[in-house]
Amino acid sequence: MAFFLDLVDFGATLGKVNDFDVIIIGAGAAGFMAAITAGSRGKKTLLIDHSAKIGEKIRISGGGRCNFTNKYASPDNYISSNPFFARSALAGYQPQDFIALVEKHKIHFHEKKLGQLFCDFSSDVIIEMLKKEISNLPVELLSSTHVKDIDYREEHNLRFDVICQAKSFFSHSLVIATGGLSIPQIGATDFGYRIAKKFGINIIDPYPALVPFMFDDDMTKKYNRKFFASNAGLSFYAEISTNYKSKKISFKENILFTHRGLSGPAVLQISSYWSDGQEITINLAPHVDIFDYLIKAKKSDGKKKITTILKEIIYPEDLHAESKTKLNRQAVFTDDFVKQFPDLKNLPDNPIAEMPENLLKSIANSLNKWTLVPDDTEGFSKAEVTAGGVDTNELSSKTMEAKKVPGLYFVGEVVDVTGWLGGYNFQWAWASGFCAGKAV
Ligand code: FDA
């Protein structure tokens, strides 16, 4: 930590234009909420972002309609080295609080499925709402502003010196809301982690989360990229599982075959719990015990071929209602899939009555318990979020303030708290931003 006492004539009051009660770096969801909350308390606030366009991640979120919260958000929907850390912030600012804000601004929204709330028309209204909220408060927004460095003067009222290209700004409190590494194309940087390290604050290794899986071209592997590419566009309502910290984690939702591997909501969800070399298991028909089904078919429809019998497995109607999927067919296993699925394609074309039980068992297992190891994820350029980040042991769960550095706060995605897919990450950004905004 350097001291800059000799460079500027610091005032103890906030009379000077460059002096603030609080400076927030990063004008995303968390930074805006911290600014609104601090500003509402009369705090003179500066909100800085290096991007020219403010709120880009909000704009692209939810397919352009911003899934701004989840009605059912609870601490169980978050991954963190400390699973209890998020509790206090999430309790202090709940989905209903953000819904009230959205309603105050007469923004039309709807629930898509599973408590996920989306704007009816465009995410832009959320960005406009946030800008409107700060416009009546003592909050100044500076875009296209690059922060070169930050210095800290422990004993001074204006402890932080935020050094930008042309000038420095000074503040009593500093909030880092610069997000994670996901989607560098629209301005993500490692700034928050660098600042944490500079102040001796530990970082839990960041990794891409809510991200599609990739398979490589190695043709000696049973499930290679060619297999997925030739089925690209195919989707299943599936249950996908993996082990995480000795616990089985499962999600039941759609999966989608892509040109590089697997995507879809269930795959994105499980990716947050995945690490290199780890197995995932996919139940391609969670509503059917396929072994049981084949044994019954062997007795009742013995003359039929196994491929015909598999094609007769359909999605029940209530499942469509439950998932609101766009599965455009009733049959779970299409002809093409059965022909190409490595575990099925060399099946004898005999009537099922002639097939031994152990063969039926292995067919059933390959569909109800399809086990595979992705080669990689599509990385930060495609990840919706970054898991890991500022170690929660370094922060107060009540205020988000760094225990080692009074006045320094971390909020939003930069912190080691990662939500599920479905509005949970914005809820964390709003809640942690609110929590810090109340404390600064
Ligand atoms: P966020 O990344 O939003 O903001 C950080 C800000 O800091 C940015 O404005 C950036 O420009 C700025 N910044 C970075 N480095 C800087 C530096 N060095 N100097 C100054 N400024 C700097 N979640 C959800 O709940 N519902 C959804 O629908 C979606 N959809 C979605 C789609 C896609 C494609 C992505 C990539 C992500 C989502 N998410 C989501 C996740 C959600 O967008 C994300 O978790 C929040 O935006 C995180 O908010 P933060 O404010 O923490 O970071």
ipTM (interface predicted TM):
0.99
Q: Which of 36, 61, 93, 210 to mutate to test the pocket of ligand 1 (most atoms within 8 A of CB)?
A: 61
Q: From ligand 1's centre to the CA of 322, what distance in Å?
A: 30
pLDDT tens-digit series, residues 70-103: 999 999 999 999 999 999 999 999 999 999 999 9
Kind of pairing between the strands at 19-25 and 376-377? unpaired
Q: From ligand 1's centre to the CA of 51, what distance in Å?
A: 12
Domains and CATH numbers, the chain: 19-207+386-439 (3.50.50.60), 212-378 (2.40.30.10)
Cα dihedral 298/301/306/310 (nearest 10): -100
Arithmetic mean of pLDDT over the chain: 92
pLDDT at 154: 82
Asked if residue 253 has pLDDT above 50, the reply is yes
Query: Whose Cα sits closest to atom 2 in ligand 1?
Result: 179
pLDDT tens-digit series, residues 178-187: 999 999 999 8
For ligand 1, what atom is nearest to the CA of residue 425? Answer: 25
Q: Which of 109, 164, 178 to mutate to test the pocket of ligand 1 (most atoms within 8 A of CB)?
A: 178
The band of 339, judged by pLDDT with boundaries at 50, 70 and 90, is confident
Cβ–Cβ < 8 Å for 426, 29:
yes
Cβ–Cβ < 8 Å for 440, 22:
yes
pLDDT tens-digit series, residues 148-174: 999 998 888 889 999 998 899 999 999
For residue 6, how far is the Cα from the chain centroid? 44
Question: Is the CB of 429 within 6 Å of ligand 1?
Answer: yes
Pair of tokens at residue 168:
């420095």
Between 221 and 99, where is the model more confident?
Answer: 99
Question: Is the CB of 413 within 6 Å of ligand 1?
Answer: yes
At residue 40, what are phi and psi to the nearest 5 degrees? -65, -25
